Structure 1
């Protein structure tokens, strides 16, 4: 039995699956990840991405932040790939209970997934810092300079967790609940180096831990199955 066949068999024999994903889930949709050789951390800007995507940079250099943000973070034309599509199908079939994602692109929801826990927020939610009015991603994409609220003139901030900001406690608690109760945990498209998000997977108590990532991770030795194939390709073998 090949590793892909083992994976398909594990999915078939599980009915409480949780998926924990990172940037690698969306690379097949054309969205660059952060740490690969052609990822955002290897592209050249006036400032490094981790500096630009910090709370203090947003507050002090708002216009420069938005120049990068519009250019690199708002991939609104991206479409779900086979991983997103199959996960949505597994949820519809009652086998997948939750998706815990570090991504902010909204592609899981675009594919039809309902119970998506977004650890780092979403580009699709933006709020005026003064009056809290909501704005969608299209509004942000079409804005220029520093996006301002059309009601009060306040600066709009994406509902995205920047460096130096804490994660939402409710999202963390829900994620811990689903991960600790899962009979199968699939970790995909993440190098598991961003904390505290990566630490959540250690709460899994079952014996069907699958890691799907192009490069090795610190969790490989603890996994029951490790696949280094493209994640969309792996999920394309899942038939319901």
Structure 2
């Protein structure tokens, strides 16, 4: 039975000990990693799916390929207001992971987030399973645009070169994950001896299925709520993830 820790200071001490003894640490994170940066997660009580938004569609529907295709006005209105977070800054979890990578402890950060905060914090080997709001591309000519450009547009964003629609480089519901990113993630998880899973409910597949490729020594899950894979963990940190990385 895994040890369960609810106190942030104690969790940080246990986590530091595991990392110090590790040969190769990989971090796999979700929306809960960025809540301390002011970005809501999806399924918690105060998450995005439980917020009211002035639209005839649910937030989950507004993140689908079908709405992007059939009602792009509604999609982009929601996307700009709720998915882009230009003012957000890395919290202690992002900063510590970047520091541990610099020290040679963390070899990869695998994230389901699209906010780019790991890179802003300084992490270099980041595998973005669901893309990034910082990248947008023309569906016809492939011209690229950043988040600032997207936020300055109104209605349906159009390419300045050819006039076609500009789509965020994010994986919407109904779209497949990039196979090269999946391959990189599986390779990283398969070869590490410590896997830290943080801020994710581990219910969204295929991303949640990546944990099954871990064959190392220590599996740590840091999440406020229980996950379906808690029974496989060696340590459960049921506390704020930013606090667990505060050492």
| TM superposition score category, shorter chain reference | over 0.9
Residue aligning to 1:133: 143
Q: Please give the per-residue CA displacement for 1:8-37, whole angstroms capped at 9, x wherever unaligned.
A: 110111130000000000000000000011
Is 2:12–2:243's contact at 8 Å kept on the other side of the alignment?
no
1:193 to 2:203 alignment: yes
Could you tell me which of 52, 58, 62 is aligned with 2:62? 52
Residue aligning to 2:177: 167
TM-score for the superposition, normalised by structure 1: 0.97
Q: Alignment length, in residue pairs?
A: 237
Structure 1 segments (4+ residues) deviating >2 Å: 1-6
TM-aligned CA deviation for residue 56 of structure 1: 1.0
Q: Distance in 1 between matches of 2:46 and 2:224?
A: 14
TM-aligned CA deviation for residue 4 of structure 1: 3.6
1:224 to 2:240 alignment: no
Residue aligning to 1:214: 224
Note the 1:82-93 alignment, pairs <5 A.
Answer: 82-93=92-103
TM-aligned CA deviation for residue 3 of structure 1: 4.3
Residue aligning to 2:25: 17
TM-score for the superposition, normalised by structure 2: 0.94
Is 1:188–1:231's contact at 8 Å kept on the other side of the alignment?
yes
Q: Distance in 2 between matches of 1:139 and 1:11?
A: 40
Gapped runs of 5+ residues in structure 1?
none
Q: Please give the per-residue CA displacement for 1:188-229, whole angstroms capped at 9, x wherever unaligned.
A: 000001000000011100121000001010111110000011
Residue aligning to 2:162: 152
Gapped runs of 5+ residues in structure 2?
none
Is 1:3–1:225's contact at 8 Å kept on the other side of the alignment?
no
